[in-house]
Structures are given as C-alpha cells and as structure tokens.
Amino acid sequence: GQNIDQPTEMTATEGAIVQINCTYQTSGFNGLFWYQQHAGEAPTFLSYNVLDGLEEKGRFSSFLSRSKGYSYLLLKELQMKDSASYLCALPGGSYIPTFGRGTSLIVHP
C-alpha cells in the first residue's frame, strides 16, 4: 500500500518563494508526480521525479529523496496565478497513481 502526506494549506506573498512538502511510504517506488489544479479546473502535470535530486523547470523545481521518502515542490517569484492546489501522486501497483489530498496554496499581494 501507499501513504502520502501533504500539508492542507499554505499561504505566501507575491514575489516570495514557497516550498510544498510531500512525504510518502510505499512498498515499491515508481517515481513521483506533482500536479497543479486551479479551482474548478482539471489537474495539469507539473513534474515527474524518479531519481534523487533537484529538477528545475523555470520558476518551479521539484526535489526527491527516495531514502527519506520525501519530495518537495519549490515555487519561486510567486505570482497571484500560482494560487492553486498542488497534488503529489505516486504510481503503485500496475503503475496506477495514488494521489495525496493536495496542498491549497494561497498567494496574497
């Protein structure tokens, strides 16, 4: 089975940096996904990590430590449009992903 834990809600200021954590327990590791979901919309893919380390993609970076069962999403130069839910997901049996409950990020001016 899998267990995924994320903070429920975070707030940050426009222009700042925020780190959203995801801790997990899994019997077999097949990578970790991050998705972004704006209110009333569908989730969209942000990143996929399968090896340890940091992967940078513009203002967004994702980090993975397999030995610690830990990942984080780092958002730099926050913009108001970054207000959304951020979902951590792990593929399990048959590579079917299980999602965490998501972290609601509120960016204020």
- Measured from the CB of residue 93, what is the shortest distance to other proteins in angstroms? 10
User: Nearest Cα to 99, choosing from 60, 42, 56, 59?
Assistant: 42
Residues 6+ apart with CB under 8 A from 65: 52, 71
CB of residue 68 to other proteins, shortest distance in Å = 21
Q: What is the dihedral of CA 19, 33, 22, 46, to 10 degrees?
A: 20
Closer to other proteins by CB, 15 or 93: give it.
Answer: 93
Name the residues that contact other proteins, by CB under 8 A.
8, 30-31, 33, 41-45, 48, 50, 87, 89, 91, 94-102
CB of 15 to other proteins, least distance (A): 29
Nearest approach, Cβ of residue 99 and other proteins (Å): 4
Smaller CB separation from other proteins, 42 or 109: 42
Nearer Cβ to other proteins, position 3 or 13? 3
User: CB of 22 within 8 A of CB of 71?
Assistant: yes
The C-alpha atoms of residue 102 and residue 88 are separated, in whole angstroms, by 7
